[in-house]
Structure 1
Amino acid sequence: MKRKRIVVMGFMGSMPIAGVIWQHIHYIVGLQRLGHDVFFIEDSARLPYNPETFEVTDEFDYAAKVLARLARDFDFKNRWAYCARYLPGNPTAGLPLKKIRQLYREADAILNVCGTQEFNDDLLVSDRILYVESDPGVEQIKIDKGVKSTIQYL
């Protein structure tokens, strides 16, 4: 099998609690073990939560620290990014914005874990964005009930 370049997207930096982190790490580690080149990108307009201060603020130092530690511990060092879309200039930690945009253009697949990744102009250059549900049943019930916002998003 040809080695693929895969981007996993989610919110484990901005919501650094055990269950959320696990939802993402098992995809990253599993895809790496299958031999793929895996990146984690959190590119969000949502403000991050800091569990040390119990605050939601526009500072993303804690989120970056968490992602850097996870990247080191789970072997995706130098293959992660946090982009703060809520701040002017879209500042990043980890990879620079130029590299993030390149990954969006060139990735074989982009996994939107839990559907938490908002779409933005940079991301929408890709036609290989896959929705990965982590809470089976919720979205399916919404579709069955005809919830238009869910249907449009998916």
Structure 2
Amino acid sequence: MSRNRVPTELQDTRNFSKEEREKRIKAESALVGDRDLLETPPEHLNKIEKEIYMELVQPLLHIKALGNADREIIAICANAKYRMHQANELIEEHGLMVYKENTKTHQVELVENPAIKTYKTYEGIFNKNMTAIGMSASARSKFATNVENEQKENKLNNLLSGLRG
């Protein structure tokens, strides 16, 4: 299975030249389209999901490759995080193990809390969609490294251009 495409600004700078990088960023920004709705949560989210949406979108606004089309992915992440909170509350309330009556034997058994499976399901949805927009933990660390490398490169270019006259 192929990997999700990560925005160029989040990719490692060693994979291509500065010119190729700028060309890719320009092509991506042409495809992104408008960004005016990105800071507005979709109407179908409930109040708490909208708060989570805003919490998720604020750190992503610097990524130029994100646009209005990505709102739904962020909304899916907000919904998944909300469901994870709900499942976690049930786990906290009832514990990791719960008593359940066996329908065949009519005896009460101790089984894993079904909320654990629900939590895992929504955690997978959350992680998959955050990765789809390039915001997995590894993508964020690459972005930080790329920004630092770009700043060093710009500083070096400024010094060299000053020496050249």
**TM-score of the superposition, structure 2-length normalised?**
0.22
Bigger strand share = 1
- Computing the radius of gyration over CA atoms, which structure comes out larger, 1 or 2? 2
**TM-score of the superposition, structure 1-length normalised?**
0.23
